[in-house]
Amino acid sequence: MRATLPDEIRHVFELQRQASRAQPDAPLTLRRERLLRLSKLLDEHGPALAAAVQADFGMRSPRLTEVADLFVLRAQLAHTLRHLARWSRRKRVRTPLFLQPAGAWIERQPLGVVGVISPWNYPVQLALGPVIGALAAGNRVLLKPSELTPHTAAQLATLVAQFFAPDEFCVVQGDAATAALVASLPFDHLVFTGSTAVGRKVAQAAAANLTPTTLELGGKSPAIIDADCDLADAALKIAHGKLLNAGQTCIAPDYVLLPRGSEAAFADAYRAAVARLFPYFEGNPDYAAIISGRHLARLRTMLQQAQTLGAQVQVLQPQPGTPAPPPQSLGDGVGRQMAPVLVFGATQGMQLLQEEIFGPVLPVLSYERLDEAIAHVNAGPRPLALYWFGRSEALRDDLLRRTCSGGVAVNDTLLHIVHDNLPFGGIGDSGWGAYHGEAGFLRFCHQKAVLVQSRWALGGLLYPPYGARFDRVMALLRRIL
């Protein structure tokens, strides 16, 4: 990966800024054409992008990248292209009686230049997802992918340069210092996806330029199991949500809350679910590697601390008799394919319950009554996602009223993020702002208020000098409000 020089980054940003000021709006035909170019990029070069992701992780099946990165983007593009004309249309609004016969509407106008700083865990989806909304709204985009996925970043830079002019959409590459430089530029909007700690720094840098931000962070997303749920079904869906990408997912279930006394039954159900999804771990291309040795060491340190402090750590083993994979299928990340782990008896003093885990480790906590589970969730920062498994609509609705999270899935995990008509975003420590679908389009628009006065306007009745006529007009207006 060749790092983009600071002067090059500033030059591209200035190109985009000047272009956006020279053309404050972008015709619908141009917006559609840009989205179609992005769609063509994915269609023609999806395998190359999947190969780059595999090279970065050392073990991550191209099929996993297809479903978790490329398919999600294709669905977003199709939905956006289908609805773009309606979203872009001038929105007329009713005019209050006291302002009539004036007319009014809202113009949905591009912001200008949108910056995107994307993470490593889904390095194609989370790089290009915000770009779809920004281009749809008529903006120029400068993207800085994560330095932890250098092959993917380089592939994105090469491909984007083939399909877009630099003043439309450009990718810059580099380390954390490059990201800090990008965050300091006076964008019209800045999107960051990553950790809460880094998100705070990005928000501070953007604030210096009064740049509005969308922060997609993470946090401790709980999965709450009610006593009447289908435990086998819940365990399978939690295992899928937890182990997709080896737990390196911002909305992965971070921990489970379940009725006291059902711990052993859940452990058995979870083991069976994991065996169904991943009969073996080491050498399994469908089971992603932890992104780096540093991240793997962090997970092991958290487990060691929990065990030292009295937690029961259960490392799940592969199915007996599973054949070894052929040597040529092994990537250099095979040594970082961490076996799934269940942890019982975790306490608040442990890192496992203080930090987002971001790996295949699942603490299981017990509760006596739903009130206790809700209190536990509400005692911490608001999560990016919350998952509820149960049959009672009354208990479900009670939980929804009494908790606050970025999004919710009931009797499943993860899937709310791919619903085209649902916004995706966090709240509090899990972020702010939302994108996807129309919510994302509007996030990257300036909704400009327009009032057109009529020649028959009577506003002059409220001009000074004030007197008896003014009093009579105000009395009439009060009656008709």
Which amino acids are annotated catalytic? 216, 250
Number of CB atoms found within 10 A of residue 38's CB: 22
Tokens of 202: 């990005």
End-to-end CA distance of the chain: 64
- Tell me which H or E stretch contains 322: none
DSSP for residue 76: H
324 alpha carbon, distance to own chain's centre = 36
At residue 3, the 3 state secondary structure works out as: coil
Q: What is the rounded radius of gyration, in angstroms, for the C-alpha atoms of the chain?
A: 26
β-pairing verdict for 189-193 and 434-435 = unpaired
Q: How far apart are CA 435 and CA 440, in angstroms?
A: 3
β-pairing verdict for 445-452 and 103-110 = antiparallel
Tokens of 409: 């899935």
Cα–Cα nearest to 81, from 35, 140, 130? 35
Cα–Cα nearest to 243, from 216, 212, 217, 276? 276
Strand partners, 362: 342
State yes or no: cis peptide before 62, omega within 30 of 0. no
State yes or no: cis peptide before 47, omega within 30 of 0. no
Strand partners, 333: none
DSSP for residue 209: T
Q: How far apart are CA 445 and CA 440, in angstroms?
A: 9
Number of CB atoms found within 10 A of residue 177's CB: 11
